[in-house]
Amino acid sequence: MPLPHWTLEGRLPPGRLPADLADIYERLVFDAPHRNDREILFSALNSYLGVVTRVIPAGRAWVGGAFIERTERVPGGLDVVLIPDDWGSLKRLTGAARDALCGLLTMRGMIVGQPAMYLDQVQPVGGLLDGFLCFPGDEDVWAHTWSAGGGRGFPEVVW
């Protein structure tokens, strides 16, 4: 089912809007200004979700940020919150699989070694997106944030 048309304010109508990547491309890239910039962000989203589905067996992703608005401002990035279906499987991740999960998430205030340095923020896909993990029971908080207090809709991708 395609994403609905833009409102007069350049937003998607309120609510969680079921979408696949083709729907997202059609509305948020093809039918929006700054198509070339949006193409790059869409490619980042596509690659990101490809890795996510290898690490998290089943779940949902909500797409947010300036990318989901139709404005004259060039979107600088996009936001994704991941909602896993099975938290038990994530808790059991170890080694490379756990590292892969951490690599999907935006981290703030990091101290790393070799060479030792402080980083304000580490983001997936070269900083083109912010990835977040929704803990069980926090869905309403994330939905409120992603909907800008109920005033806009956001795509939901299920795998």
pLDDT tens, residue by residue, 23-50: 999 999 999 999 999 999 999 999 999 9
CATH of domain 17-136: 3.30.460
Q: Considering only CA atoms, give the Rg of the chain.
A: 16
Q: How confident is the model at residue 115 (pLDDT cuts 50, 70, 90)?
A: confident
pTM listed for this prediction:
0.90
What tokens does 117 get?
């340095």
**Three-state SS for 26?**
helix
Domain boundaries, the chain: 17-136
> Which pLDDT tens digit goes with each residue over 134-153?
999 999 999 999 999 989 99
Residues 42 and 67: their CA atoms lie apart, in Å, by 9
